[in-house]
Amino acid sequence: MTELKNDRFLRALLREPIDTTPIWMMRQAGRYLPEYRETRAKAGDFLSLCKNTELACEVTLQPLRRYDLDAAILFSDILTIPDALGLGLYFEPGEGPKFSRVIRTEQDIKNLPKLDAKRDLDYVMNAVSTIRSALSGDVPLIGFSGSPWTLATYMIEGGSSKDYRYTKEMLYKTPELLHALLDHLADSVIDYLNAQIDAGAQAIQIFDSWGGALAHREYIDFSLNYMTKIVSGLKREKDGRRIPIILFTKGGGQWLDVMLESGADALGLDWTTKLDQARAQVAGRIALQGNLDPATLYGSSQSIEKAVKAMLDDAYRGGEKTGYVANLGHGITQWVNPDMPKIFVDTVHEYSAKYLG
């Protein structure tokens, strides 16, 4: 395999020495970039873009041409697994993802097929291998999946939800059904992510986008336990290098103590968590990633620079010199001026020299 020219992202996740703070952005390939919108129009629609190997590779590389990012992330969607399980994913303009079928009964769960990711999601694996080759070792490639809890909410609700009515009804009324679904999804995610690793992914992030909607005990029982199962089932080394695993629970900063036991290498933080306190709490036992409010990028050059410096001051206040990756606290939004992320990226690299130089 091509030698990796910039591995500071992987090194930071493994708490190894780094020369400057690595940075990437969740949803860094997306609608805020005019070149992305042009490529999506060429594909016809979002799902067609995901399934077109060359175009998925193109949009993955687009942000790296604009910004000095330290990692690429596979362009795909967290709902590829439910789609491959036969639920019929489609997108309504202005309404987001929806499914033709929902999962609400014991029979619905029993009818779900066993996923064979290399066969059923071959277009994802083709994209991973194509992107990895196109990167030519410049930066590592991140693969990803949604968490079982997050995937289950979409499958039960039939799309996005604000109150998770049907999912939480299943959780409290028939928890054994929800556990059966989550267990099936955990096995599917393990197969899916291991296939991505085989295809060339060099780090993995599990997006627990809706974990923060759960109560404390329920978060552990219905989300974290299944992510822990996934971590234990993943391949952790390829081509002589460790494959770092990042868990990101939006709204999950209060659960750092139990997330430490997941076996992951790093935890992602949203913008509601105080970074210096989080660093003190984990005490060098695990790396952290995040946590700039994505809305910060609506601001001026000066306000963005000020916010980024404050975040880095928090990250390194305790004297640590590694174990931190700069990122947003959630995905970059479509309304961001594409000139503004450069200020974020460049400030991270330049200002962190104060701590790491």
Q: What is the DSSP string of 284-345?
A: TSSEEE--B-GGGGGS-HHHHHHHHHHHHHHHHTT---SSEEB-BSSPPPTTS-TTHHHHHH
The pLDDT score that the predictor gives to residue 68 is 98
Q: Residue 269 gets which letter from DSSP?
A: -
The pLDDT score that the predictor gives to residue 95 is 74
> How many Cβ atoms are within 10 Å of 227's Cβ, its own excluded?
25
Both tokens of 234, joined, read: 């993943």
- Active-site residues: which are they? 27, 31, 40, 77, 154
Give yes or no for a contact between 340 and 295, defined as CB atoms under 8 angstroms apart.
no
pLDDT, tens digit only, all 357 positions of the chain: 578 999 999 999 999 999 999 999 999 999 999 999 999 999 999 999 999 999 999 999 999 999 999 999 999 999 999 999 999 999 877 778 999 999 999 999 999 999 999 999 999 999 999 999 999 999 999 999 999 999 999 999 999 999 999 999 999 999 999 999 999 999 999 999 999 999 999 999 999 999 999 999 999 999 999 999 999 999 999 999 999 999 999 999 999 999 999 999 999 999 999 999 999 999 999 999 999 999 999 999 999 999 999 999 999 999 999 999 999 999 999 999 999 999 999 999 999 999 997
What torsion do the CA atoms of 209, 27, 205, 310 make, to the nearest 10 degrees? -90
Annotated binding site for substrate: 27-31, 77, 154, 209, 330
Q: Closest by alpha carbon to 123, among 159, 74, 82?
A: 74
Annotated binding site: 27-31, 77, 154, 209, 330
Give yes or no for a contact between 11 and 325, defined as CB atoms under 8 angstroms apart.
no
What are the backbone angles phi and psi of residue 275, rounded to the nearest 5°? -65, -40
Sign of CA dihedral 47, 163, 264, 222: negative
Residue for token digits 């080759």? 133
> How many Cβ atoms are within 10 Å of 20's Cβ, its own excluded?
18
Answering whether pTM is above 0.95, one says yes
Residue for token digits 């805020």? 32
Return the CATH fold of 8-356: TIM Barrel (3.20.20)
Give yes or no for a contact between 323 and 22, defined as CB atoms under 8 angstroms apart.
no
The structural domains of the chain, with segments of one domain joined by +, span: 8-356
- Give the span between the Cα atoms of 196 and 127, in whole angstroms: 9
